[in-house]
């Protein structure tokens, strides 16, 4: 928040690995750091398990366009990961996972002008909800 408020040229977050990696280094051997990510990519990876960054950490930086660099305290010469509004779209960058998440992709030709369609879909979830574990 301070870096965004000051409109800093760059915000740096120092941690124990060389930036955000393409997989979780605690689970996958031989992961690689990602050189650059967009704010949205970094936020999504953080939400789905990348522990190096909290998803809401970069919101102020994104709002004011201040790049965020993730650096390694054990290797200051490592380039780390730069997070900004620039990036290479369409390239596969990383895999992240979060337990107890279900993703559903709904496609239907019956959705067009079908008022209440999504309400009926979500009613199924509501009627079959289970207590969280």
Domain membership flag for residue 65 = yes
Question: What pLDDT score was predicted for residue 71?
Answer: 93
> What is the C-alpha to C-alpha distance for residues 56 and 73, in angstroms, rounded to an integer?
22
Q: Quick count: other Cβ atoms within 10 Å of Cβ 93?
A: 16
> What is the C-alpha to C-alpha distance for residues 123 and 33, in angstroms, rounded to an integer?
42
Domain membership flag for residue 23 = yes
> What is the C-alpha to C-alpha distance for residues 70 and 35, in angstroms, rounded to an integer?
10
Domain membership flag for residue 126 = no
Question: What pLDDT score was predicted for residue 56?
Answer: 82
Domain membership flag for residue 115 = no
Question: What pLDDT score was predicted for residue 89?
Answer: 62
How many domains does one find in the chain? Answer: 1
Domain membership flag for residue 68 = yes
Task: List the domain range (segments joined by +) for residue 42.
Answer: 2-84
Domain membership flag for residue 26 = yes
Domain membership flag for residue 78 = yes
Question: What pLDDT score was predicted for residue 130?
Answer: 65
Q: What is the CATH number of the domain that holds 58?
A: 3.40.1160.10
Question: What pLDDT score was predicted for residue 83?
Answer: 92
pTM: 0.69
Q: Is the distance from CB of 41 to CB of 85 less than 8 angstroms?
A: no
Domain membership flag for residue 124 = no
pLDDT tens, position by position, for the chain (133 residues)? 888 888 889 889 998 888 888 888 778 888 888 889 988 888 888 887 777 888 788 888 989 889 999 999 999 899 899 999 887 666 777 777 667 766 677 777 776 777 888 888 888 888 877 665 5
Residues shown for the chain: 133
Question: What pLDDT score was predicted for residue 8?
Answer: 86
Question: What pLDDT score was predicted for residue 131?
Answer: 61
């Amino acid at each position: 928040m301070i870096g965004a408020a000051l409109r800093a040229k760059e915000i740096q977050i120092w941690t124990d690995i060389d930036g955000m990696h393409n997989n979780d280094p605690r689970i996958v051997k031989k992961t690689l750091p990602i050189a650059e990510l967009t704010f949205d990519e970094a936020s999504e990876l953080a939400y789905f398990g990348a522990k190096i960054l909290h998803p809401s950490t970069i919101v102020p930086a994104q709002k004011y366009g201040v790049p965020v660099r993730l650096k390694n305290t054990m290797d200051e010469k490592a380039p780390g990961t730069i997070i900004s509004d620039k990036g290479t779209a369409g390239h596969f960058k990383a895999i992240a996972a979060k337990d107890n998440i279900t993703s559903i992709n709904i496609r239907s030709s019956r959705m067009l002008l079908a008022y209440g369609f999504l309400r009926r879909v979500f009613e199924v979830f509501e009627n079959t909800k289970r207590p969280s574990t």
